[in-house]
Amino acid sequence: MNNNFRLSKQSKKQIDDEKKVKKTLSILNILFILLFALILLIPNLKLNLQKNAVSEIDNRMLTEFPKRDESFLPNLSNFYSDRLGYRNEIINTYSKFNNIIFNEMVHPTYMYGQDGYVFTKLGRAAKDYDFMKSFAKFLRELQDYCEERNVPFIYMLIPSKTTVYEDKLPSGFAYDNSRIELLIQELNRLEVNYLYTADPLIERRKTEEVFNVQYDAGHWNEYGAHYSTSLLFDRIKEYYPDIKFAKRDDYEITQKLETSLPVSNFEINEYVPLFTHKDSDYVNDQKYAEEIQLDLQNRHYRHFVNKSLQSNAPKLLFFHGSYYREDRDKFVVNSFAETMSIHNYINVTNFDYYFNIANPEIVILTSAEYATTDSRFPVTQMAAANLQPAYSNYENLKSIQASDKAIEYHPDEDKQLQNVTVKLNMPEKPKAGYLLMKDRIYDMKILVDKGSISAQVTVPTENLTHEAEIVFIPENEENKIIQKLIVK
């Protein structure tokens, strides 16, 4: 009986212990669920709702909250994945884990190729052949605009790292560059004055890296930038034989250690070349910076003045993307008396606006292969550029005085740029309009708003004169209508 009592007592204690264990496990399970729910909840509470937000880790605009249409649900999914709180930290941690454990790069912007080379992540090859034809046509229109005004125009197509280092792409990757091949065919057919540096860079990389192995995979390095710019200057010298180009001996070339990929915390350890000019004499004169019109997403603007070259070097209007940003425009601007440097893409569709301000003696436009897309150069805006013929086409037309009374313009003395707008008392929209001031001819934009016709042009304040003429060309081109302008 005592034995039975001891067994019963032991069983009861065992049951109590099991209950305690189950209760503890239940509490732990609840705590784990609560912790897991909290982990899920916190990023949602930190959802990024800022408008026009830019992702630092993959260098693009974050998806905005979608409109309620048939694509609402998939766009909502993109919005949520882009805007989730701590997105950058999550991606960085996950990328670091995969790189250390599996030697794999899991990143929204970059991917590993062969032999440790890093490339920007590639998706399915675009087949935007119609865009390429439209872009080539637009370049020809820009070239015609410049040549009618006796200004040389050069287009420079910059190859991507994937083109120059195709053999270093991931094993088995089929690289399709047919869209660029079509663009080159169109440039040749339309006789656009262009330069494509893919083959020279492929040859050059046999002796030195023209793109870094890992750092800044989306752009050439300073060796590649300097060499390609030397080829550009070979073309420029066809128009300005005496122009100077800074050779390698004119720079101090050092090595800089980079420990992470750009717009990323992905760790690397690579020394990259850095060129510093030994004797430059240009300054960044930002007098138009607060007033000049720029696209909201492409706001890079610099205006260089080279004091030592003021009298004997041409003035440059330079449209470029990121290959010539981050101080790499130094390879270009040191050779010109003045350089107006404009972030291209949508801005270039406002070409005549910048041409009026810069009064250039040569125009250079560059674009990288991967950035030559409809999203960067919208076809609709290229088609709407509406570039006027040069005034020289109409100089000999019979003149008709619009009015004996001059139009008065009162400039804003606090401004570096004057937006001159004139309302037109005309039955129909004229074909073209010009402002003749001093020894300059400015193309005017003809605007129609609710039946009201006006002409507008932007002129540097320093170029204003007391008297000027506005000339309008009717659609029939039978004469030219002249209106006097008085600047008060």
Q: What is the rounded (10 degree) CA torsion for 475, 347, 231, 175?
A: -110
pTM (2 decimals)? Answer: 0.83
Identify whether 113 is part of a domain: no
Query: What is the distance between the alpha carbons of residues 354 and 303, in angstroms, rounded to a whole number?
Result: 12
Three-class SS string for 19-46? HHHHHHHHHHHHHHHHHHHHHHHHHHHC
Tokens describing residue 153: 């125009």
Q: Are residues 137 and 248 in the same domain?
A: yes
Tell me the mean pLDDT in the region 464-485.
Answer: 92
Give the residue among 125, 127, 257 at the shortest CA–CA distance from 182.
127
> 271-307: string of b/e by CB count within 10 Å (b at 16+)?
ebbebeeeebebeeeeebeeebebbeebebbbbbbbe
Position 474 scores a pLDDT of 92
CA 210 to chain CA centroid, nearest Å: 21
User: Phi then psi for 437, rounded to 5 degrees?
Assistant: -140, 125
Query: What is the distance between the alpha carbons of residues 116 and 131, in angstroms, rounded to a whole number?
Result: 34
Q: Are residues 274 and 130 in the same domain?
A: yes
- pLDDT category of residue 267 using cuts at 50, 70 and 90: confident
Give the residue among 336, 337, 344 at the shortest CA–CA distance from 365.
344
Query: What is the distance between the alpha carbons of residues 301 and 317, in angstroms, rounded to a whole number?
Result: 11
Query: What is the distance between the alpha carbons of residues 182 and 128, in angstroms, rounded to a whole number?
Result: 10
Identify whether 371 is part of a domain: yes
Is the pLDDT at 80 greater than 80? The verdict is no
> Domain end: 356, 383, 410, which one?
383
> Domain end: 383, 414, 433, which one?
383
The amino acid that residue 157 corresponds to is L
Residue 210 CB contacts under 8 Å (≥ 6 apart), including other chains: 164, 201, 204, 220, 221, 223, 224, 227, 228
Give how far Cα 231 sits from Cα of 225, 237, 375, Å: 10, 10, 29
Q: Are residues 238 and 164 in the same domain?
A: yes
Identify whether 467 is part of a domain: yes
Q: Are residues 144 and 5 in the same domain?
A: no
**Parent domain of 247:** 125-383
Query: What is the distance between the alpha carbons of residues 36 and 53, in angstroms, rounded to a whole number?
Result: 29
Q: Are residues 400 and 347 in the same domain?
A: no
Position 55 scores a pLDDT of 62
How many structural domains are present in the chain? 4
Q: Are residues 227 and 316 in the same domain?
A: yes
Tell me the mean pLDDT in the region 23-46.
Answer: 74
Q: Angle at CA 11, nearest 5°, toward 10 and 14?
A: 85
Identify whether 112 is part of a domain: no
Three-class SS string for 235-271? HHCCCCCCCCCCCHHHEEEEEEEEEECCCCCCEEEEE
Tell me the mean pLDDT in the region 237-252.
Answer: 95
Tell me the mean pLDDT in the region 474-488.
Answer: 90
Q: Are residues 246 and 199 in the same domain?
A: yes
- pLDDT category of residue 20 using cuts at 50, 70 and 90: confident
Q: Are strands 267-277 and 282-284 parallel, antiparallel or unpaired?
A: unpaired
- pLDDT category of residue 250 using cuts at 50, 70 and 90: very high
CATH number assigned to the domain comprising residue 478: 2.60.40
3-state percent breakdown (helix, strand, coil) of the chain, nearest 5: 35, 25, 40
Q: Are residues 243 and 341 in the same domain?
A: yes
Do the beta carbons of residue 275 and residue 253 sit within 8 Å?
Answer: yes
Name beta bridge partners: 271: 257
In tens, the pLDDT along 338-364 reads 999 999 999 999 999 999 999 999 999
Give how far Cα 319 sits from Cα of 125, 163, 204, 343, 366, Å: 26, 23, 25, 6, 6
| Helix, strand or coil, per DSSP, at residue 9 | helix
Identify whether 294 is part of a domain: yes
Among 98-107, 224-233, 387-396, the least confident range: 98-107
Position 211 scores a pLDDT of 98
> Domain end: 383, 417, 450, which one?
383
Q: Most confidently modeled of 18-27, 67-76, 106-115, 350-359?
A: 350-359
In tens, the pLDDT along 139-192 reads 999 999 999 999 999 999 999 999 999 999 999 888 999 999 999 999 999 999
Is the pLDDT at 56 greater than 90? The verdict is no
- pLDDT category of residue 58 using cuts at 50, 70 and 90: low
In DSSP notation, 427-480 reads SS--SEEEEEETTEEEEPEEEEETTEEEEEEEEEGGG--SEEEEEEE-TT-SEE
Among 93-102, 169-178, 273-282, the least confident range: 93-102
Average model confidence (pLDDT) for the chain?
A: 87
User: Where does residue 255 rank: exposed (0-12), middle (13-18), buried (19+ CB within 10 A)?
Assistant: exposed
Is the pLDDT at 118 greater than 80? The verdict is yes
Q: Are residues 302 and 364 in the same domain?
A: yes
In tens, the pLDDT along 357-409 reads 999 999 999 999 999 999 999 999 999 998 999 999 999 999 998 877 888 89
Q: Are residues 253 and 342 in the same domain?
A: yes
Q: Are residues 314 and 167 in the same domain?
A: yes
Tell me the mean pLDDT in the region 14-22.
Answer: 71
Identify whether 312 is part of a domain: yes
Tell me the mean pLDDT in the region 425-449.
Answer: 90
Identify whether 117 is part of a domain: no
Say which residue, 123 or 366, is predicted with more confidence: 366
| Helix, strand or coil, per DSSP, at residue 377 | coil
Q: Are residues 255 and 310 in the same domain?
A: yes
Position 285 scores a pLDDT of 86
- pLDDT category of residue 50 using cuts at 50, 70 and 90: confident
Identify whether 165 is part of a domain: yes
Query: What is the distance between the alpha carbons of residues 82 and 56, in angstroms, rounded to a whole number?
Result: 12
Computed over its alpha carbons, how large is the radius of gyration of the chain? Answer: 31
